[in-house]
Structure 1
C-alpha cells in the first residue's frame, strides 16, 4: 500500500541556507531509490526556517529502506549542525 509522508524540518537560526542546500543536494539520490514515487522540497513563506518534504513511497518497506540508505546517513550526520530538532513526520496511508 502506498505511503505518503510529510517531513517537517526546522533549521537552527543562521543555518537555513545550509539546510536548504543539503536537502536540495539529497533530492536526486532519493528520487533514484526504487521505492520512491515522489520527493519534493517546499520552503515556508511565513517561516523561512521551516522546510517540508512531500514524499510518496511504494510501501512501508520502501520508506524503511530509504532511512538506511548511505546518502541518508551522510545527510543525517551533516544535518545535526543545521537542524533545530528532529524531523516531524506525518504519515498517511493511501
Structure 2
C-alpha cells in the first residue's frame, strides 16, 4: 500500500496527517480538523504546496466572543439581576446572537457573568444600540465598579 503524506495548512502553520495518525489522540484530532474544515473553512489539504490564494485566519470574518463581568452592590443585587435577565430574554431574539447566557456567582452572588457569541462585529454593534442594552446604563450607580468586558476570537 502506498502511503501519501498530506499537509494541513492553518494560518501558515503546517501539520502532517501522518504525525496525527501516530498520536494517541488521533481520532479526536482528526475529527477536530474535519469540524474546523466544515465549519470555518480554515484548512486546506494538499500533497504539494500551499495554494497561492490561501487566506490566513486573520482575514476571515470571525465570530466575536464576549465575556462581561458585572459586580452589583449587595443592596441592589435583585434589581440589577432583573435588568440583566431582561437583557437575556430580549437578546436571544436577535439573529446575530448565537449564545447569550447569564451566570451568577456561587461564592459571591453579587457577581454576574455574561458569555456571548456573536456572528459578527456588526451584529454586536447593532445589539449595543438596542433600547434594553442602553437601559443597562441606568443601573451604573448600582454597581460596585465598572463592568469588565473582554472581546475575543478563536485562535
**If the length of structure 1 is used for normalisation, what is the TM-score?**
0.89
Q: Secondary structure at the match of 1:80?
A: helix
User: Structure 2, unaligned stretches of length 5 or more?
Assistant: 1-61
CA distance in 1, matches of 2:97, 2:123: 7
User: Structure 1, unaligned stretches of length 5 or more?
Assistant: none
Instruction: Could you list the structure 1 runs, at least 4 aligned residues long, displaced by more than 2 angstroms after superposition.
Output: none
Q: For residue 13 of structure 1, report the CA deviation from its aligned partner.
A: 2.6
Which structure has more strand as a fraction of its residues? Answer: 1
What is the Cα-based RMSD across aligned positions, in Å? 1.3
Greater relative contact order structure (CA < 8 Å, 6+ sep): 1
Matched, 1:84 2:152: no
Give the total of aligned pairs: 93
CA distance in 1, matches of 2:69, 2:99: 16
- Quick check: which has more Rg, 1 or 2? 2
Q: For residue 92 of structure 1, report the CA deviation from its aligned partner.
A: 1.5
CA distance in 2, matches of 1:17, 1:82: 11
Report the counterpart of residue 124 of structure 2 in structure 1: 63
